[in-house]
Amino acid sequence: MAAANSADARPSESETEKAIVEAAKHYPRANVAEDFQYGTAGFRMKDDLLDYIVFIVGIVATLRSRKVQGQTIGIMITASHNKYQDNGVKVVDTQGEMLEQSFEHVATQLANVHTPQDLGTTYASVLKKLNIPATTKKAHVIFARDTRPSGLRLVKALKAGLEAAGAEYIDYGVLTTPQLHYLVKATNTESGRNPFGEVSEEGYYKKLAKNFVAAMEDAKPIGSVTVDCANGVGAPKLKQLLKHLPPPEKSGLRIRIVNDQIEKPEALNEGCGADFVKTQQTTPAGFNGKAYDRWASFDGDADRIIYYFNEEGPVFRMLDGDRIATLTASFIGELLQKAGLAEKVKVSVIQTAYANGASTRYIEQGLKLKSEFTDTGVKHLHHAALRADIGVYFEANGHGTVLFSPHATKKIFLSEPQSPAQLEALNILRALTDLINQAVGDALSDLLLTEVILAHKGFTVKEWLATYTDMPSRLGKVNVLDRRSYTTVPGSAERKLASPQYMQEKIDEIVAKYKDGRSFVRASGTEDAVRIYGEAAESFDVDNMVEKVMETIMAYSAQGVAQR
Ligand code: 16G
Ligand code: MG
């Protein structure tokens, strides 16, 4: 249930500054030497360090709302796939996208002051620099949290920050991350020409369910899908969604749920969930599937999904973000063709360097679609997808969605069908534009989308896998203290290092020795580590190659550390 506060008219700037200084006294900054940084996933760390940070994020979101004339800003408290002792906080911008970049700096700056007095002065200087209009409009913020036990405590700190900074807020309780994104976009478009959906959790389910039914018309779902919900918020929310869908007897599709124990906090992401399955390349706890049973896993806040199955053996087979992207792009491409729109509306697929090379070849040569690469992190893919007619974006790890441009949407909704087949294709496309959560990658919405496509194509998991053959690949990690010394060449989509000096040359030298070898190195944005990705024609080659690159990193970084 949503609960709103009732702030009165906004006090003067100096009163606000004073209120912030007073409130900050109750939320001292954790005494850690390292600077906090607002990164790809917002702020994320052990939950006992976070009270101050969450308090600050309340102030940042308030400033952001004021900067955009009182439009609603979202805050999500979650640490996604990380351990249950971690937590995190990130800000959602007006259209449900990630926080605007300049405000990431504001967040980092405010998170790194050390005393309440400093906070007051820094706040005042930020306020001036932001050139916030002297508007009488109040700031509006909505927020939610995942199932982590620390969430409730952190909400107290958040409210203190919001109240001190003078925002009006609504607490939406426990939600998935994409549901909060949905609500932000729905709130800000409610009275406009294109409302995104009803402004409620119920409205979210109704929108998905209605369009799922429409998209499934004339399709024949095959069997069942079992969803591992990582013992996180995805479990109760998927159960809610199921109540809005037609029963399996009617739809022909059974959705089974495992790993739904949210009352056991320590079970969250433990041996299960999308991150576990993807990184360990194995089935999750609770897996009892027979060969070729269709399985999917969500992560801890349900913004990622991957599919997989076992062949006899058992041999584990992954159907990750690349597979969902190629499946979706090919389906939308076919529909556009049938609807006679293929010449007018172009599909682009946006990937990161982690995408398997075989998926990119399939997109370009098999599907004859445009492919594009960006840096890691949802916001980069999202921005690239916004430039496409229809932008299908997925990270290999299962974050992703599809964006339909106004041009594409207009063509899809205003085209006059010339035949029953064209009408059918248009109807499916129309339903997809609303079944897909265009605010952000959403495991619940992506699950339904994938099921719709498999049903229409009549694909089993085996047939889905057979569309192309993955290159053998491997992901490695070296823990380093100096990850910031690893930078990539701008515009290279992180495929080339700019520093440390000569490191890229050394990597190129190693890679040249392996057939179809490819490897790149980048600093993690979420932990003190450097990640190494590699692929090659043979799996024994790829192991050897990635090991050699890792040794090179270790040799350099050991040196770097010893010199400190
Ligand atoms: C964050 C990003 C995710 C990215 C991951 C990379 C968002 C919402 N999340 O979780 O997209 O894949 O970081 O992690 O943008 P890394 O920098 O540690 O490799
Ligand atoms: Mg997540």
As annotated, the active-site residues are 80
Tell me the CATH architecture of domain 203-319. 3-Layer(aba) Sandwich (3.40)
Distance CA 509, CA 108 (A): 38
Beta carbons of 425 and 188 less than 8 angstroms apart: no
Cβ of 313: how many Cβ atoms within 10 Å?
8
Residue 118 assigned ligand-binding role:
no
Ligand 1 and 40: CB distance under 6 A: yes
Q: Considering every ligand atom, which ligand is closest to the CA of 379?
A: 1
Ligand 1 and 41: CB distance under 6 A: yes
The confidence score (pLDDT) of residue 119 equals 97
% of the chain beyond a pLDDT of 90: 91
Bridge partners of 257, per DSSP, are 227
Letter string b/e over residues 75-96, b meaning 16 or more CB atoms within 10 A of that residue's CB: bbbbbbbbebbbbbbbbbbbbb
Task: Please report where in the chains the tokens 């300049």 appear, as a residue.
Answer: 102
Residue 299 assigned ligand-binding role:
yes
In this model, does residue 439 exceed pLDDT 70?
yes
Ligand 1 and 531: CB distance under 6 A: yes
| Residue range 232-288, pLDDT digits in tens | 999 999 999 999 999 999 989 999 999 999 999 999 999 999 999 999 999 999 999
Q: Residue 135 — very low, low, confident or very high, per pLDDT cuts 50/70/90?
A: low
- Which of 146, 306, 521, 526 has the most ligand 1 atoms within 8 A of CB, as the residue to mutate? 526
Superfamily designation of domain 3-174: Alpha-D-Glucose-1,6-Bisphosphate, subunit A, domain 3 (3.40.120.10)
| SS3 at position 6 | coil
Q: What is the pTM of this model?
A: 0.96
Domain boundaries for CATH 3.40.120.10 within the chain: 3-174, 203-319, 321-465
Residue 522 assigned ligand-binding role:
yes
Ligand 1 and 378: CB distance under 6 A: yes
Name the helix (H) or strand (E) containing 421. Answer: helix 420-435
Residue 525 assigned ligand-binding role:
yes
Residue 5 assigned ligand-binding role:
no
Q: Residue 40 — very low, low, confident or very high, per pLDDT cuts 50/70/90?
A: confident
Summary mean pLDDT of the chain: 95
Ligand 1 and 351: CB distance under 6 A: no
Distance CA 285, CA 261 (A): 12
Q: Residue 563 — very low, low, confident or very high, per pLDDT cuts 50/70/90?
A: very low
| Residue range 358-403, pLDDT digits in tens | 999 999 999 999 999 999 999 999 999 999 999 999 999 999 999 9
Ligand 1 and 274: CB distance under 6 A: no
Residue 256 assigned ligand-binding role:
no
Residue of 274 and 3 predicted with greater confidence = 274
Ligand 2 mean position, distance from CA 178 (Å): 9
- Of 281, 359, 361, the closest CA to residue 316 belongs to 281
- Which of 278, 399, 477, 494 has the most ligand 1 atoms within 8 A of CB, as the residue to mutate? 399
The confidence score (pLDDT) of residue 30 equals 85
| Residue range 442-479, pLDDT digits in tens | 999 999 999 999 999 999 999 999 999 999 999 999 99
- C-alpha 305: how far from chain center: 10
3-class SS string, 423-484: HHHHHHHHHHHHHCCCCCCCHHHHHHHHHHHHHHHCCCHHHHHCCCCCCCEEEEEEECCCHH
Ligand 1 and 475: CB distance under 6 A: no
284 cis-preceded (ω within 30 degrees of 0): no
In this model, does residue 535 exceed pLDDT 50?
yes
Domain boundaries for CATH 3.30.310.50 within the chain: 473-563
Distance CA 293, CA 556 (A): 45
In eight-state DSSP terms, residue 267 is: G
- C-alpha 332: how far from chain center: 21
The confidence score (pLDDT) of residue 506 equals 97
3-class SS string, 272-332: CCHHHHHHHCCCCCCCCCCCCCEEEEECCCCCCEEEEEEECCCEEEEECHHHHHHHHHHHH
- Of 159, 200, 206, the closest CA to residue 183 belongs to 200
Residue 286 assigned ligand-binding role:
no
Q: Considering every ligand atom, which ligand is closest to the CA of 526?
A: 1
Q: Give the residue-averaged pLDDT of 344-353.
A: 98
Q: Considering every ligand atom, which ligand is closest to the CA of 273?
A: 2
The confidence score (pLDDT) of residue 133 equals 73
Distance CA 199, CA 202 (A): 8
Ligand 2 mean position, distance from CA 269 (Å): 11
Ligand 1 and 527: CB distance under 6 A: yes
In this model, does residue 4 exceed pLDDT 80?
no
Ligand 2 mean position, distance from CA 300 (Å): 6
Ligand 1 and 399: CB distance under 6 A: yes
Nearest residue by C-alpha to atom 11 in ligand 1: 377
Ligand 1 and 140: CB distance under 6 A: no
Count how many Cα atoms sit within 13 Å of the Cα of residue 3 in the half-sphere of its side chain: 4
**Single-letter code of the amino acid located at 270:** E
- Which of 40, 299, 401, 478 has the most ligand 1 atoms within 8 A of CB, as the residue to mutate? 40
Which atom of ligand 1 has the smallest separation from the CA of 303?
8
Ligand 1 mean position, distance from CA 378 (Å): 7
- State the maximum Cα–Cα separation within the chain, in Å, rounded to a whole number: 73
Ligand 2 mean position, distance from CA 347 (Å): 26
Superfamily designation of domain 473-563: Alpha-D-phosphohexomutase, C-terminal domain (3.30.310.50)
Could you please report the per-residue DSSP string of 511-533?
HTTSTT-EEEEEE-SSSSEEEEE
Ligand 2 mean position, distance from CA 445 (Å): 14
Q: Residue 2 — very low, low, confident or very high, per pLDDT cuts 50/70/90?
A: low
Distance CA 40, CA 108 (A): 12
The confidence score (pLDDT) of residue 564 equals 31
Bridge partners of 47, per DSSP, are none
Ligand 1 mean position, distance from CA 203 (Å): 29
Task: Please report where in the chains the tokens 């504001």 appear, as a residue.
Answer: 106
Under CATH, which number does the domain 321-465 receive? 3.40.120.10
**What are the residues whose beta carbons fall under 8 Å from the beta carbon of 235, sequence distance 6 or more?**
229, 257, 259, 260, 261, 262
Please tell me the total number of residues recorded for the chain in this structure.
Answer: 564
The confidence score (pLDDT) of residue 562 equals 41
Nearest residue by C-alpha to atom 2 in ligand 1: 377
**What are the residues whose beta carbons fall under 8 Å from the beta carbon of 138, sequence distance 6 or more?**
7, 9, 10, 70, 166, 167, 168
Q: Considering every ligand atom, which ligand is closest to the CA of 401?
A: 1
The confidence score (pLDDT) of residue 421 equals 96
Q: Is 435 exposed, middle or buried (0-12, 13-18, 19+ CB in 10 A)?
A: buried
% of the chain beyond a pLDDT of 70: 96
| Residue range 60-78, pLDDT digits in tens | 999 999 999 999 999 999 9
3-class SS string, 211-259: HHHHHHCCCCCCCEEEEECCCCCHHHHHHHHHHHCCCHHHHCCEEEEEC
The confidence score (pLDDT) of residue 63 equals 97
3-class SS string, 65-100: HHHCCCCEEEEEECCCCCCCCEEEEEEECCCCCECC
Q: Give the residue-averaged pLDDT of 180-192.
A: 98
